[in-house]
Structure 1
């Protein structure tokens, strides 16, 4: 519980309002620190009171500025159920008339408002604020049927966007302007945009303890409402005289074929081939081999190259001359190999090769990319080169095939302590040495939130009747979903899965699924009393399918368990 005195009597300036919100933040235990903008203060505020119950009392309020009330209210939306904000005021406008919420024509009004907004969230906000002061049917119909509604919405949107943009910190302005190179109606994906910002060097303005990736995602969320206004196409043929000033350029896949125009752009930093098709689509656009060979010598300042969804079969060796390259995307192409010269791209941060079905190996020179942070080979059958463990800055590594033709060992993961997100491990049946498995140090990789582990039905020369145990996974602090499938030689699941009882086990696990575990007979959810309060605190869904011999033993309830799916099981 926290108490504070807040001067909210009159409508103040933006600076005074920032000071007032900061006073509340500090009164609930927030640190005494400076924030570059109100947005960053609100992010810190939301984290501080997230899932906590509170009572806020604002006495003698005279402020009628609805925008400021929204800003004040926003951080409190993350509070726990039961939280309350009590406001006292002698102003009649502070009272809300809810008569229209129960009106029989409410649905018709809602449909009309949505049509007026034309899919723009900001337009919906502006109209909502306007209708807030209208308390009867006649006033609503007058606004909806009149031309003033369109003018009002457009003017307020432009005004709000301009005001919001001018008040952004300089680094957010830079990120927003960069996104203007995307196509109209392009669906912005946070991870994709974040990697591009990182490649351009826009993420330097961060707290020392925050990773580039987390800061980029935070900035994306702050700018998300702006993205619907982006997307203006230009004709390069009409602006040849100014081409030398262009630094960032995108083109529509399959439509832009005049690549020779790019030879005139001497300081191009970004070249994005964009499309509106799905990332895993089989559709590809034609790109003659000679185009890339002729183009690369003219792009010596290039940092970002995206040619995904093009029918490229070969990457020229000259790619190694692009020494400023930070982001390279050949996803969903027909390339069969990458040249060894890729290893000369010493500043490369992101190498994206998702869905390259004909790519079976990566060059050994990849291990020279000491600044590589993201290697995406999802749905690509390629093997990682020996020595991949030397890339100590890797944040994401989607697929790892153990014991393939190159003899990759699981111990290669030992030094990749910063791995996060999704990791898939295949060929674990070829791990025969316990010490080697322990060297992988999976328990130290606490930021992995999606882990897939695959054992084959082929167990080499070992006895197939040998009983196997699941690895210890309870220490993975960020793991939210765990799927265990087709491990037919596992008979019991117990304390070996949970790991050490000295800390909270599976602290963030939400979904647990077992499927086709035909030999599984016994599941001890809590093997001793010391674990019961520390196991599965967030688990709400369990799925058991085709576990015909299973019997479950549990003395304690899983606290938040809500959904249980059971199919073809004896339990």
Structure 2
């Protein structure tokens, strides 16, 4: 792309960018034209590359990244995707051309060089620090011949970053996984997302500089223990690894980990102890309680943000463990799901469960709450408290022994209420509104959807 082919106004806009935004924008040259990228996804990549630093106004690198993203968006370097997804964005073709032009030889797209010979691609890769490629149905060893002898790459990024369809199958030759990748000792970013790989090599632990590892949507059943030797790792993405059965025993050693996404891992039945050591953790999509891990390990994770599911609460035998979890201090949590076992057998203790849910009172910043398979006879006293002024969505399901519903009418932001499987409740009266009959019309001022399913 010749400099003259880029619109002068576009070049001028880039020229007036602060230096740190120029660097972030140039990194987007890795994205192909028309590629839809996620805001959070891009910020995590920027962070892994070392582009983000805490500022005077933002202590967290992620917040700095979001601010930079919004500034590039406001200057029209990004635009919202037409798909309607709130967090999806694209670059105009001309903007993409500009990004590739300013990135120069630092970034390498395997697909852009597909027509050139192997030696030419290798020469380009030797000068590059970041590489991307579009996943094919089968990525064999021949496609990666140019990577032979390349040692200084920092980024290995197949696109799209996340698998777009569960029906698509992408295969990657073992030669890349076992021979090529372990040689790339300078990697900061490694994504194998969406490939039908079954395992990672033990040699993955030799990539000591790695900060971002994405194996989402793969068929891995477990990670090698050597992953826990990646002490610089900030982001570990295992979303929709539907065969994943366990995490490495020493996962807690990843003390610099900030994002652990294990959503959609239905076969993950327990998690290792030691999570409380990961004090920098912001994303923990779920915690699975079992023989080892206790709910009180949440106590040290005061930086948690976004959504958290606590699975296996029937395993909490001491209610004080719930108090020690210290959920009220986790101001960044916006979504919380509490899940007990769907097996209502004699091993369950409704009195303990009632105390546990009472002590698991979350921060009043909560926007979404789900309670599932709870065996207590009543819901916690905090559920329905007007102090939860941001709570917009509540789901109560299969809490079959509860004999009354919580008073929720004072929740001024509540828009969606789903209640099902509460078999102990025989009638629904004014108690749900929490307001005497003459003023019942004042209850639920924001409610849009109300589903009370037959039980």
Q: TM-score w.r.t. structure 2 length?
A: 0.80
Give, in angstroms, the shift of residue 246 of structure 1. Answer: 0.4
Match of 2:331 in 1: 446
SS at match of 2:272: coil
Q: Distance in 2 between matches of 1:475 and 1:344?
A: 33
Q: Distance in 2 between matches of 1:276 and 1:192?
A: 8
Which residue, out of 499, 521, 535, partners 2:403? 521
Match of 1:539 in 2: 414
Match of 1:374 in 2: 259
SS at match of 2:387: coil
SS at match of 2:185: coil
Give, in angstroms, the shift of residue 536 of structure 1. Answer: 2.6
Give, in angstroms, the shift of residue 208 of structure 1. Answer: 5.4
SS at match of 2:358: coil
Match of 2:287 in 1: 400
8 Å CA contact 1:289–1:314 kept in 2: the answer is no
Which residue, out of 257, 266, 271, partners 1:384? 271
> CA deviation digits over 1:35-85, x for unaligned, max 9?
xxxxxxxxxxxxxxxxxxxxxxxxxxxxxxxxxxxxxxxxxxxxxxxxxxx
Greater C-alpha radius of gyration? 1
Q: Distance in 2 between matches of 1:518 and 1:558?
A: 25
Q: Distance in 2 between matches of 1:419 and 1:341?
A: 25
SS at match of 2:301: coil
Q: TM-score w.r.t. structure 1 length?
A: 0.64
Give, in angstroms, the shift of residue 365 of structure 1. Answer: 2.7
Which residue, out of 411, 432, 441, partners 2:296? 411
Give unmatched runs, 5+ long, in structure 1. 1-154, 527-531
8 Å CA contact 2:197–2:218 kept in 1: the answer is yes
Match of 1:510 in 2: 392
8 Å CA contact 1:471–1:496 kept in 2: the answer is yes
1:84-103 correspondence to structure 2 within 5 Å:
none
8 Å CA contact 2:202–2:224 kept in 1: the answer is yes
8 Å CA contact 1:475–1:498 kept in 2: the answer is no
Structure with larger RCO (C-alpha < 8 A, sep 6+): 2
Q: Distance in 1 between matches of 2:419 and 2:6?
A: 51
Give, in angstroms, the shift of residue 156 of structure 1. Answer: 13
Give, in angstroms, the shift of residue 460 of structure 1. Answer: 5.7
8 Å CA contact 1:544–1:569 kept in 2: the answer is no
Q: Distance in 1 between matches of 2:251 and 2:196?
A: 23
Give the number of aligned pairs: 402
Match of 1:437 in 2: 322
Q: Distance in 2 between matches of 1:463 and 1:357?
A: 28
Distance 1:524 1:282, change over 3 A: closer
8 Å CA contact 2:305–2:334 kept in 1: the answer is yes
> CA deviation digits over 1:228-247, x for unaligned, max 9?
33277521634433331100
